[in-house]
Amino acid sequence: MKRKQIIAAIGVAVALIGGTYFFGDTIGRNVMSAYAHITGQSEAPLHESEGRYVRQIVAQNNSTSRTIMWQSDISEDGAIVEYRVANSSDIKSVNATNRAFTDDGTTSYIHEATIAELTPNTTYEYRVGYGNKRSNWYKLTTAGAHDYQVLIYPDSQSADYSGWAKLVKDSVQRNPNAALYVSMGDLVDNGEQASQWRAWFNSIEPLASRTAFAPLMGNHETYNLDWKVREPVAYTNYFTLPSNGNDEYKNRYYSYDFGDVHYVVLDTQFKEAEGFHDNLRDDEVAWLRQDLANNTKKWTVVLMHKDSIRYKNTKTNWEPGINDIGETFMPIFDEFNVDVVLSAHYHTYRNRGHIRNFERNESGPLYIITGVAGDVRYQNLWINHPLDIVVAPQPETDNYMTMDVSENKLTLNAFLSDGTQIDSVSVTK
């Protein structure tokens, strides 16, 4: 380093200490960038406030593409995602968005980019940044045809997200090679409350940065701070999902392929959509029929937040049966020979076996309510349904599921948070 550069670097170092002390991280970031420029460094580390909640989101075809998202506290012009085959020196890049989003009095900048033209069943590395700032490298593995595992998390809404965070950590330790994870809706208790989203995102690290994620929207994503229904703007901004071809329902329902499985994610918030999207049911049904008609994959798995079956409970006089969501969708699932239907919402684990034409029939889809992963429990509320085959031990506690995908079998397992297995069922083809 030349003498002038040394003197300048000393000055910058002094400014860094003083500026960070008096003015906080923003000054520190700017000074570090100046230091890197003066000393000839081509890159500088990305601060946490510049690269929060780095996450992989499922793309339409996860054998060849993946969407990368992150958030920052400041605007990041020139936001970028760089990627390479693992351990190679051939780095490619794609530009990312730099979009301000304000909710609950908090503004953050949302960055996203979709990496495409990848090779199936290959391990890549990617990193995010802007200017001369870069994050660490994260692993990204594209889907093969089969032989992979999915982690499935029921409703995680909580008053205290520490239990949710522990469940994620422990389940990942037990299943370190999961290629995909799913959250079944009601990610947070209140969709407008920024502190809950921060707690939720913090809980899924480092899973989020290295594993593909498929989120579902639940009814709690639609609540404002006064517990009135609003548009789920936080959810639809935080997750950029495969297109359903209709901007009115952008990021609400979608489908994606992961290996030889076609996953369909439905929006079951018909009641919450009243006054906002009055044609949601009809439009979604038309889309679903077209989507399933175009499906060429061996397996079809439907993911939906609200369940199809009506349960009697200790607080109402409801009779067990099929609800309006089931009446809408179950005949379509029968028609297109869907293999598995997973739901949530009731905060209870129930395996109802195979159902066709609203009755138990081994030729129909397998229906499972996935349980509860947060600390909001409805213990001893639901009365067993005539279609129930397996019910989680009562009083109910938190749980998670896995699905193992092989060439000729889907195996679904349910576990309590301590790893105790409570159910296992397979579908073969």
Say what the pLDDT of residue 41 is.
54
Residue 341's closest CA among 410, 397, 422?
Answer: 410
Note the helical H segments in 182-258. 194-203, 207-210, 233-238
Residue 78: band (very low, low, confident or very high) from pLDDT cuts 50, 70, 90: very high
Tokens at residue 400, please?
Answer: 């998670």
To which residue do tokens 């994503």 refer?
A: 221
Which amino acid, 44?
A: A
Question: Per-residue pLDDT averaged across 285-294, rounded?
Answer: 98
Count of alpha carbons within 13 angstroms of residue 168, beta-carbon side: 25
65 is written with which tokens?
A: 């593409």
The answer, yes or no, to whether the previous bond of 395 is cis (omega within 30 of 0) is: yes
Main-chain phi, psi angles of 324, to 5 degrees = -65, -30
CB 157 within 8 A of CB 376: yes
| Average pLDDT over every residue of 375-398 | 93
Q: Which fold has domain 148-428?
A: Purple Acid Phosphatase; chain A, domain 2 (3.60.21)
pLDDT recorded at residue 48: 94
Distance CA 234, CA 238 (A): 6
Q: How many helices and strands, by DSSP H and E, does the chain display?
A: 9, 26
Closest alpha carbon to 414 in 384, 385, 371, 379: 371
User: Per-domain residue ranges for the chain?
Assistant: 3-42, 48-141, 148-428
For the chain, what is the radius of gyration of the CA atoms? Answer: 23
Neighbour tally for 20: CB within 10 Å: 16
Q: Do residues 277 and 230 make contact, with C-beta atoms less than 8 angstroms apart?
A: no
pLDDT tops 60 at residue 306 = yes
3-state secondary structure of 4: helix
Tell me what the pLDDT averaged over the chain comes to.
92
Q: Following DSSP, what letter does each residue of 330-388 receive, concatenated?
A: HHHHHHTT--EEEE-SSSSEEEEEEEETTEE-TTS-EEEEE-B-SS---TTTBPPPTT-
Confidence class of residue 317 from pLDDT cuts 50, 70 and 90? confident
Give the pLDDT confidence score for residue 16 in this predicted structure: 40
**pLDDT above 60 for 31:** no
Tell me the pLDDT tens digit for each residue of 35-75.
Answer: 444 444 578 999 999 999 999 999 999 999 999 999 999 99
368 has pLDDT over 90:
yes
Structure tokens belonging to residue 100: 């301000």
pLDDT tens digits, one per residue of 116-163: 999 999 999 999 999 999 999 999 999 998 899 999 999 999 999 999
Q: Is the pLDDT of residue 106 over 60?
A: yes
Percent of the chain residues topping a pLDDT of 90: 87
Domain at 48-141, CATH class: mainly beta
Q: Does the CA dihedral 203-205-209-210 come out positive or negative?
A: negative
pLDDT digits (tens, 9 = 90+) for 335-359: 999 999 999 999 999 999 999 999 9
Token pair for 201: 């995102």
Residue 86 has pLDDT above 70, yes or no: yes
